[in-house]
Structure 1
Amino acid sequence: MNQPSSTPSRTPEILMAEIRDTAPPEGCAALWFFGQESVVAKGQHAVIYFDPFFSDHLEQLHGLKRTYPSLLRPEDVDVGDLCLITHEHDDHLDVKTLPALAAACPQMRFLAPACCRPILEEQCGIASERIIDALTGKWVELEGREGEQIRIQPVPAAHESLETTGDEREHRFVGYLVNINGVVLYHAGDTVVYPGLPDFLRKERIDVGMLPINGRDYFRNSRDIVGNMNIREAAELAAEAGMETVIPLHYDIFANNSEKPGYFLQELYERTPGQKCHVMARGERFVYVSPRAFKSNA
């Protein structure tokens, strides 16, 4: 059954209270899905935003109407420790959302590819000392609320090709590995599968992989819509990389660049029926419980 675009039980106030109050035990992580690749993750205390896209500015600028209203408005956000931006495209680096997050959460730091820094500083008004360049190939250790430790590694993404803007670690497009509360998350950003990616990810023993599934084709490319992996590629990547659970992203906000997540589920069922998968409802809280959560402390 399709979930209505909005319901009285899922108001912005309730959603933000849920994010504030959820405190998963060790070995668990909570995730909320807000469409496209906009995801909120939480450990025991720290709150992380991936590509928060809560405004309708693309409709105002380019006439690109969202298929459903954002469940949060930029001004609704009142808690957050980190914001991870995968690249500069408007539905990932939202210049109407990020200033509101920066103002409401003065402790929040922003990770983004180095080429995004001018946009963050000049268009979003974020102070340079709050911005960390997302350089690939190295773990960054940061601290969230209550001293919760977070480890982050930017991963090169190919949207649709690998591009660097400076030295070899300054990739224009990135995904993120995040180790929080004993759970390893992978948010792929916008990417296709490229040589070496499955092997690299397999070594990281990913608990939850979040992958785009909208694909690409000649006609979208001709309209300057840059593509990602399709449902079959995403399904095979999840299996090849040994992701414990996979969550599809980037299929629902713009009708001209969408995909049916049910097709992704069917692909998994037919090819790798043992692969765990979860399709998130809009605004849903999904609490991932790793096998490590059940290990005795003795």
Structure 2
Amino acid sequence: MRDIASTNDARNALIKEIDETSLPFGMVALWCLGQASFIMKGGSTTIYIDPFTIEDALAESRYGLRRTYPSAVRPEEITNADYCLITHDHVDHLDPDTIQAMAAQAWETVFFAPACCKDTLLGLGVRADRLHIADTREEYSGQAVIKPIAAAHEELSTDREGFHEYVGYIIRLNGVTLYHAGDTLIYDGLQARLSEEEIDVGLLPINGRDFYRGERGIVGNMNYREAAELANGAGFKMTVPMHYDLFAGNAERPGYFVDYVYDHFPSLPIHVMARGERFIFVADSAVK
């Protein structure tokens, strides 16, 4: 397996690999950039979710965030996004450097974000006619079907107009249904809602929360046990853990998630993303 984070040439190779990936109906390719940053492609449609690609030195000097490994792609290299989905306004999910570069270079990219992020995104150069509010009461149909879903980070929060400030996304792409949870705890009704959606691939945070991280202002998520229970209860066909590897002060060992699933739900399919990996999911519809 190649290391996409080692050289400039290798970084450019990631975009090349995405562009050259072509999959038939019923298949989706995933790439993980760390934390909750994912790229997915189905058919000819490429979606970035929470792209956090700021360079190490800038992340530390501006935000006090010390990455444990460098970004696999630089902001100025992202020119192939059909959609960019933002789950909330924390900098490791709404990265100003990445969004500004994407807005300047890929004018046709369609952005989704909670209403509280609107002014920030417009200030970064996102075109108003390409920006959609992630309203959990609606869904959008285009090259993909995109359904925002409420997230509780660490609680369900809405603005004065009733828009949720934290969201995840249910995405129907090329015959595959995916769920990116964003940053969230499990709240009443979430498992039942996801069961109804018949999720093929679920991307769930596993880093958890505790008193000491809360004291440092780190807002928490479900932990690896809760993620496994949710995936099993909602009937995910494949579960990919996330949000555990990019910052040492807010990390978790994915092996704990693997062990818990092995001990309690040995028939539950899971996959831990390797750095630089292209993971291809094949839905039942592709093999019938």
When normalised by structure 2's length, the TM-score is 0.96
Equivalent position of 2:119 in the other structure:
118
Counterpart-to-counterpart distance in 1, 2:9 and 2:191: 37
The residue type paired with residue 22 of structure 1 is T
Counterpart-to-counterpart distance in 1, 2:118 and 2:8: 38
Q: Indicate yes or no: 2:253 matched with 1:260.
A: yes
The residue type paired with residue 72 of structure 1 is V
Q: Indicate yes or no: 2:161 matched with 1:161.
A: no
Candidates 202, 218, 229, aligned match of 1:225: 218
Candidates 264, 272, 282, aligned match of 1:271: 264
Question: Unmatched 5+ residue regions in structure 1?
Answer: 143-148
The residue type paired with residue 31 of structure 1 is L
Question: Unmatched 5+ residue regions in structure 2?
Answer: none
User: SS where residue 11 of structure 1 aligns?
Assistant: helix
Q: CA deviation at 1:138?
A: 2.1
**Shift in alpha-carbon separation, 1:129–1:9, aligned structure 2, 3 A:** closer
The residue type paired with residue 128 of structure 1 is A
Q: CA deviation at 1:38?
A: 0.4
The residue type paired with residue 184 of structure 1 is T
User: SS where residue 97 of structure 2 aligns?
Assistant: coil
Cα-to-partner distance string for 1:13-55 (whole Å, 9 max, x where unaligned): 2110110010111000011011000000111101000000000
User: SS where residue 96 of structure 1 aligns?
Assistant: helix
Following TM superposition, where does structure 1 have runs of at least 4 consecutive aligned residues deviating by more than 3 angstroms? Answer: 2-10
Equivalent position of 2:23 in the other structure:
24
Equivalent position of 1:74 in the other structure:
75
Cα-to-partner distance string for 1:125-147 (whole Å, 9 max, x where unaligned): 212111100000322112xxxxx
Counterpart-to-counterpart distance in 2, 1:292 and 1:175: 25
**Shift in alpha-carbon separation, 1:288–1:5, aligned structure 2, 3 A:** closer
Q: What percent identity do the matched residue pairs reach?
A: 48
Q: CA deviation at 1:63?
A: 2.8
Residues matched between the structures, number: 286
Q: Would the aligned equivalents of 1:185 and 1:207 in 2 still touch at CA under 8 Å?
A: yes
Counterpart-to-counterpart distance in 1, 2:246 and 2:232: 26
Q: CA deviation at 1:279?
A: 0.4
Q: Would the aligned equivalents of 1:79 and 1:104 in 2 still touch at CA under 8 Å?
A: no
Equivalent position of 2:128 in the other structure:
128
Q: Indicate yes or no: 2:8 matched with 1:15.
A: no
The residue type paired with residue 125 of structure 1 is G
User: SS where residue 40 of structure 1 aligns?
Assistant: strand
Q: Would the aligned equivalents of 1:141 and 1:152 in 2 still touch at CA under 8 Å?
A: yes
Q: Over aligned residues, Cα RMSD in angstroms?
A: 1.6
Q: CA deviation at 1:283?
A: 2.4
Equivalent position of 2:202 in the other structure:
209
Q: CA deviation at 1:6?
A: 3.3
Q: CA deviation at 1:234?
A: 0.3
Counterpart-to-counterpart distance in 1, 2:4 and 2:108: 32
User: SS where residue 34 of structure 2 aligns?
Assistant: coil
Equivalent position of 1:40 in the other structure:
39
The residue type paired with residue 162 of structure 1 is L
Counterpart-to-counterpart distance in 1, 2:116 and 2:46: 25
Q: Would the aligned equivalents of 1:5 and 1:68 in 2 still touch at CA under 8 Å?
A: no
Counterpart-to-counterpart distance in 2, 1:106 and 1:262: 40
**Shift in alpha-carbon separation, 1:4–1:255, aligned structure 2, 3 A:** farther
When normalised by structure 1's length, the TM-score is 0.93
Q: Would the aligned equivalents of 1:10 and 1:283 in 2 still touch at CA under 8 Å?
A: no
Counterpart-to-counterpart distance in 2, 1:245 and 1:230: 18
Q: CA deviation at 1:167?
A: 3.1
Q: CA deviation at 1:7?
A: 4.0
Q: Would the aligned equivalents of 1:27 and 1:291 in 2 still touch at CA under 8 Å?
A: yes
Counterpart-to-counterpart distance in 2, 1:166 and 1:188: 23
Counterpart-to-counterpart distance in 1, 2:7 and 2:111: 32
**Shift in alpha-carbon separation, 1:3–1:221, aligned structure 2, 3 A:** farther
Q: CA deviation at 1:232?
A: 0.3
Q: CA deviation at 1:244?
A: 0.3
Q: Would the aligned equivalents of 2:2 and 2:276 in 1 still touch at CA under 8 Å?
A: no
User: SS where residue 97 of structure 1 aligns?
Assistant: helix
